[in-house]
Amino acid sequence: MSEADVVTLLRESIWLTIKLSTPVLLVGMVVGLIISILQTTTSIQEQTLTFVPKLIVTLLSIIVLAAWMVQNMTDYTKELFRMVARF
């Protein structure tokens, strides 16, 4: 296995990590922004008001996107095993 192969594997793994985490992070960020706007307009500064909804929405988004995430990870793992078999 050459250095170029290792760099390609690292680049693909980093890209896969970004691709899988972006939707969940975006959903959490949007919910946090909406709650922050509501807190600012109503002058309610309760910390649990931001934490609990973001936690629930993040878990729901993971549940909804789980099949897509597993499929991407499976495809990457299969490609990784193919590369290992070649060497």
Give the chain's mean pLDDT.
91
What does the domain layout of the chain look like in residue ranges? Answer: 3-86
- Is the confidence at residue 62, as pLDDT, over 90? yes
User: In terms of DSSP H, where are the helices of 47-86?
Assistant: 48-86
pTM above 0.85, yes or no: no
Measured in whole angstroms, the distance separating CA 26 from the mean position of its chain's CA atoms is 9
Supply 19's token pair. 């691709």
The percentage of residues in the chain with a pLDDT greater than 70, rounded to a whole number, is 100
Which residues, 6+ apart, have CB-to-CB distance to 54 below 8 Å?
28, 31, 32, 35
- What is the C-alpha separation between 87 and 66, in angstroms, rounded? 32
